[in-house]
Each structure stands twice: as structure tokens, then as C-alpha cells.
Chains A and B, each alone.
Chain A
């Protein structure tokens, strides 16, 4: 069943562009929400750095390993760029790009949790440590939630590859909005994912390089 088709065949179908448009707008709106979510951590970083209460912004050696931070941010960026570049190409090209994005994300999250086990400081090691753990932990959690969205696109693409031609022939020339919905989902998720990876890059600069 297409998303824009009514349940009751006697009802006029809503315009087929509504739902794809909604998905695209929704992707942009999510970017606004996560901006404000991570702005809180960015604000916390600079606020606590500026206050440096009792000289405890950094307690002891609190430098995270750049050697781990670089691949974490890099994997997120690579996955996002590949997925975004492929999003306007034919579906057959998007599927491998989606899988790449998914694998990169899972690898980045795994590396992040591995990093926690190798750090020379703990969560209680001052204001910086608090921001580091808070920002990276919730970034990883949201990355997993985002990966869920990408996985849905990948699964839909796989389904499309298996049954796309059959479905089209079954409809006997009636325009299907399935493909348009799938295209919108890919476009919105890739846009969101690029934005999310950019936030990761900012996190890398602030937490590892500044």
C-alpha cells in the first residue's frame, strides 16, 4: 500500500507529493533539533572552560587520544559523504553506499566505546571530562538511532531490488509513489546524516584539538 493512498477506496487520495515532501522537511527539522541538543554541550564546554572553577576544568591529564578520535570522526564523515553523494544516483548505486554508511557508523560507535576503556582520565576528572563523556556518549547513542533510519533505507532498497520490477508490472502502468517515497527517505536521511557527521567533526575539533 502506498503511503498516500486512502484506506477506503471511495475517498479521494491525498496528493502523492505530500508524504515525500513531509519526509524531506522532517529530515531538515531534525537537524534543527539536534543542533540545539548539542549546542547545550558546546555551551557547557565554553562555559566551564571560562569559569574554570577552582582550576578544575581539567583535573590531571585529560587529553583524549587523537589517534582514536580521528578515525571515529573520519568514519562518520566518510560514511555520510558516500551516502550523500549516492543519494541522487539510481537506487542500485545507493544500496552499497547505504551499507557503507551503516558499517562506518557501527565501527565509529564501537571505536568510541573502545576509547572509553583506554582513556587516562575518568568522568569525574573535571569540567572537560564531563563534557567529553556527555557529548561523545550521547553522540554515539544518537548515531545508533540514526543508523536505524539508514538501515530502514537499506532494507527498503534491498526489497526494491528484489521486487521492484514485479511490483511495477503488477500496477500495470499506474504511477506508483513507492519509489518517490523511497527516494525521499534516502534524501532526507542522507541530508540528516551529513549534518550529524558535521556535528561529529565539530565535536572532534572542540574535544580533541582545542
Chain B
């Protein structure tokens, strides 16, 4: 990569007074208009609601049309308040296309509470927003484990327990679809490919605020009786559910829309906005993982949206997509949900692979082993993930002749996944490993994901799946793959990139404490679930056999420690980034990738002149490896 000349940044435009900015387009206005929109929608729905439409509700007096319209207009009002209608209306009236960026007018904390077109600001918004809902989802998990301390004595009761399970699963599976891509892809992809921005910066911001609106919609389920379906929202429970299920529909529909737009934006950015010399074979492996993930998001999420719209129509205008008595079928929902749901698993897993493969060369001082193999693996996983969905329905009574195909396709997917794992191991082999906190999390990923992957073979195989289906074995499996695979990689990314993103060091000592407690508690929590599953403990049931209490209590105690480890991380983040604020070095990891060649914090417009890439992305261990020189631009962001 070659350098460019630097010039001093220009002066920033004068700011409007604070009061003027507070009554403009920002979060405050968004909340006001969102609440107003909710009441308006609810009122309209109440006006058009007929008696016959109460047919589908089990609770008298519920009005699903009013609630759905309330959510719809509430979200629209929220987005209008944030300023998302301004530019489309300008264009509608013939205004010129422009990328005039809001960050040039807005500074300080306020820019985090409004529509921002700076990819670094949006990334930080994602970091905090996703973190907040991760925290809520974690609290739900603690409540679940508290309920399971006793086999028959209840803290919450059956319905509340199921709602907790559903909220925990939905929050984690829904919000965390953007857990890596939101903060890290938005921040890193433009820089890594040598662009200053995403292709559609307003859409980038829209994806974040849609996700936040989704999270709030899901939480409102507690005011309407919750939902008892788990995160999968299965029918006919959904159609029969209280109005709390409307919140589930609204939540996942918004998540689906956010996912689609995020994936869309990322693909277009990567395909069209690569700087000179950034040919496909030089693309950082993290960007490849983002590309594969974005492909899944763009294609799979619309299926989810369509499915939820069908469910919404069943509950409001009396269609019968999922009602067998009227010519529908609950299995239709199951099929369509998993057409989305299984790619969704890889939407969560692939960015984790990308992070680990991106970090391993830095901490082993070796080039990434099998770069092309890893790329093939990621693309292979992405493509195959569309052909495995019926393994979730092996026990649903589907035609037995279909089982071998889906069993085979599921087992086939372990081949490209194995490529990726092999590349990780190949990079570790004979490397000069530095056991930093990010590296520890990467190594933990390798351990956890192995167990997750191996246990997956049991679930792809029909005979063993029939035995373990719907049990805690399945829970153990997907927590090992998703939490062990994604969350550990997520923390690796946090410890690795946050100093560059925020400009402050995180405490290494607290980070190591966090890692070891989390790693041990994670395995102590989820490994026993394999045993519980084999012993017959079913998912989503509030009671269990008394002979399983010992193991359950062990798991609950471990889960509390796991929760404490995450609090330790929170303490570290707040202490390091808010109170201590020790400036981070420019390149503390001695990385050779482009983001680490920029100053810390990264300037407003990233580069003054676009970089030119002319070498391998992982030139570690080579004798002459000139670091990329880039000219920064503007003030620190």
C-alpha cells in the first residue's frame, strides 16, 4: 500500500445552540413522535376493529389490528423524528443527490443520538445499542436459571418462564445478527477496503435505528401477556397466543428489515468501493466473512419478513396461512422460518470466523494459512446453509424420504466449516503465539466451536436427532456454536479493535480475569447441558424430574458466575473508557492491516487520499514487509 500527502484539516462549521439542536431531528424527537405514532395507530386500529376479529385472540378485548398499527406508526414516527424522512422527501421533490454528511455539523455526544452518516459513529452506536440489549438478554438468562433452581417450585410461573425463554432467545438471535456486523463491519469494512464511507450512509444509520426500535418493540411484549413460543415463534402457538405475540412479529420483522438493508449496504460497498489495488485476492479475510454473511442476510431475511407478515395477517385480517382448520398448515411456518433460521445461524457464526482468522496472523506473526481455502469455506457455508433447513423438522412427521437428503446436506456443511477450522489451526501451527487477551478469546473460540461442531453431527444424523430433539442437548449444542463461536470472537474483536475505535486502552489485567472466568464458567454452564439432554430434560418446560436438580443447580450457579464475568467486562469498559482514559497507542498489536496504520483515534474522514493497495493482506513473517502508509484526514472522530 502506498502513501499520500497530508494537508491540515479545515475548520468545522459553527454549531447551532444546544436548545436548537434538541428540538431538531434527534432521538428525543424520535421518541416523542414514536409514542405519538403508537397512540395514533392504536386509535386507528380501534376504530376499524370489528368484533369478529377477536376470534384469534384468547384474551377478551385484545385488538391485534390496533396493536400492529400502533407498532407500525410508532416506528414510522420514531424514524421521522430522527430525520430519516427529510432526504427522501427532498429527492421526491427533485432535490439533488448528495452525500452531505451530518458529522460535519454535529460533534460531541449529540451525534450519537441522531441520524449520522459517519460509519465510525454508526459503529459506536451499534456497539452500545447491541450491548444494551445483550445485557437485557443476559438478565433474562439469569432469570431462567433462577427458575430452574427448583424442579417444581416456581419463581415466575409457566407463562412468564416461557416468555423469558422467548425474550432471551429472540433478543440474542435477533439483535445479535448485527452484533459483529453492526459495530465492527460498519467501522472496519470501509477502512479495510480503502473507502471513506459505506455506499449508502443513510441506510447504514437506518439499520441501526430499526434495530433499536425492534428491541423496544420486543420488550413491550411484557405489557401484552408475553409470548410462549420461544424465539422460533412456532405455529399454532403463535396464532393462538395473546397480543404479546404481536410484539414478537414486530420485533423480528424489524430485525429482518434491518438485516436486509445492512447486508445490502455491505455487499454494495465491498463490491463497488474498493480502493485501487484492492483486488479480491487481497481482501482481508474479515471482509470476506462479512461479504458471505451479508449475502445470507440479503436473501434469507426477506423470507422471514414474508413469513411474519403471513402470521400478522392471520392474526388481523383472518387469513389462514397457518390454521389447519381453514386450509392452512402450521408446518408452513416451520418450513419458512427455518429457510431463514438456518442461514441465520451462519449469519451469527461467519463473522466470528472472520474475526478469528483476521486476528490469528497478528498474534502468531504468520501469514494466514490457506487464505483461499478459508474464503472457499465461508462461501461454501453460506451457499450450503440454504439447503439444510429441514433437519430442524426431522421429528415433525415430514416425508421420511426427505430425511437422507437433509441429513447429508447438513453433514456436508461440516466440510467448508472444517476448511475454516483447518485454516485457523494451520495459522497457529508453529506460530510465535502472543497470549494477549484477544488471542486468548480466539483460542477459546477454537476450543468451544470444536465441541459445538462435533455435537452438531449428532443432530444432523436422523437416529440420534430423534433421540435428542427438543432436549437440552440441542441447547448445549447451539450455545457452544453461537456463544462459544460468536460471543468469544466478539470479545476478541472488542479487546483488539476498541482501543483503535475509542482511542483508549482497555485494562489487560481485568481483561484476563474476564477471559478466564468467562471461559471456565461458560464450559461449566453448558457442558452439563449435554448430559441433561441425554437424561431427558426437555427445552421450554418449566418443571423437570427431581433427579436432575443437582445438575441444574450446578448449571445455574455456573451461569451466575458467567454473568459476573460479563459484569467484569462492563466494569473494565466503563473504567477504561470513561474514567481512566489512557490513550491507546497507534498500533499496540504491531498489526500490518491498514486500520492500524491510521492515527488513534481515526480521523473524521479516515484518509486524506485514498490508499493504493499493492500487497498481500497478511505479510507477517516476511523479511521486508513495508507497513502501509496512509495520510489521515480531518480531526479525530
* Set of chain A residues within 8 Å of B4, measured between Cβ atoms: 12
Q: Is the CB of B320 within 8 A of A129?
A: yes
A48, B272: Cβ atoms closer than 8 Å: no
Q: Who on chain A is nearest to B312 by CB?
A: A134
**Residues on B with beta carbons closer than 8 Å to the beta carbon of A4:** 99
CA distance in complex: A44, B336 (Å): 9
**Cα separation A21 to B200 with both chains bound (whole Å):** 12
Chain B nearest Cβ from A129, distance in angstroms? 7
Q: How far is the CB of A35 from chain B (nearest CB, A)?
A: 8
Interface residue from B303, B324, B609 paired with A36 (Cβ < 8 Å):
B303
In the complex, chain A residues whose CB is within 8 Å of the CB of B331: 47, 51
Asked if B303 and A37 sit within 8 Å, CB to CB, the answer is yes
* Chain A residues numbered 1-42 whose CB sits less than 8 Å from any CB in chain B: 1, 3-12, 14-15, 18-19, 21-22, 25-26, 29-30, 32-41
In the assembled complex, the Cα of A124 lies from the Cα of B313 at a distance in Å of 10
Number of residues from B at the complex interface, CB < 8 A: 66
Known pairs A11-B605, A33-B264, A133-B317; A48 contacts B328 (CB<8 A): yes
A130-B310 CB under 8 A given contacts A25-B271, A40-B336: yes
A51, B216: Cα distance in complex, Å: 38
6 interchain residue pairs of minimum CB distance: A56-B327, A40-B306, A126-B327, A127-B327, A37-B302, A130-B319
- Chain A interface (Cβ < 8 Å from any Cβ of B): 1, 3-12, 14-15, 18-19, 21-22, 25-26, 29-30, 32-41, 43-44, 47-48, 51-54, 56-59, 122-124, 126-131, 133-134, 137-138, 148, 151-152, 155-156, 158-159, 178, 181, 185
- For A51, the chain B residues whose CB sits under 8 A away are 329, 331
Given A29-B264, A133-B313, residue A48 in contact with residue B93 (CB < 8 A): no
Give the nearest-CB partner of A181 in chain B: B97
Q: B273 to chain A: which residues have CB within 8 Å?
A: 14, 18, 22
Q: Are A7 and B101 in contact (CB under 8 A)?
A: yes
Query: Is there an interface contact between B605 and A53, defined as CB atoms closer than 8 Å?
Result: no
Q: How many A-B residue pairs have CB under 8 A?
A: 201
Question: How far in angstroms is the closest Cβ of chain A from B607?
Answer: 8
Min CB–CB distance B464 → chain A (angstroms): 28
Partner of B319, one of A133, A156, A158: A133
Contact present for B96 and A159 (CB under 8 Å): yes
> How many Å from the CB of B100 to the closest CB on chain A?
6
8 Å CB contact of A3 from B99, B104, B335, B336: B99
Shortest beta-carbon distance from A73 to chain B in Å: 20
Q: A1-B96, A134-B319 are in contact. Are A25 and B268 (CB under 8 A)?
A: yes
A123 to chain B, nearest CB (A): 5
Given A59-B327, A178-B96, do A22 and B605 touch, yes or no (CB 8 Å)?
A: no
Q: In the complex, are the beta carbons of B100 and A33 less than 8 A apart?
A: no
Q: Which residues from 389 to 406 on chain B have a C-beta closer than 8 Å to any C-beta of chain A?
A: none
Q: Is B528 an interface residue (CB 8 A)?
A: no
- The reply on B318 being an interface residue by CB < 8 A is yes
10 contacts between A and B (CB under 8 A): A11-B196, A25-B268, A37-B303, A40-B307, A47-B331, A48-B332, A54-B324, A58-B327, A156-B96, A181-B97
Shortest distance between the CB of B96 and any CB in chain A (Å): 7
Cβ-based interface call for B610 (8 A) = yes
**Complex Cα–Cα for A43 and B318 (A):** 20
Per-residue A-contact encoding for B83-103, CB less than 8 Å = 1, 0 else = 000001001111111111100
Task: Judge whether B332 and A47 touch: CB under 8 Å.
Answer: yes
The reply to whether the CB of B153 lies closer than 8 angstroms to some CB of chain A is no
CA distance A148 to B92 in the complex (A): 8
> A8 to B271, Cβ gap below 8 A?
no
B298 with A29: CB separation less than 8 A: yes
Residue of B nearest to A37 (CB): B302
Q: How far is the CB of B608 from chain A (nearest CB, A)?
A: 6
Q: From B307, which residue of chain A is reached at the shortest CB distance?
A: A40
Binary interface profile of B, 332-350, with partner A (CB < 8 Å = 1, else 0)? Answer: 1001100100000000000
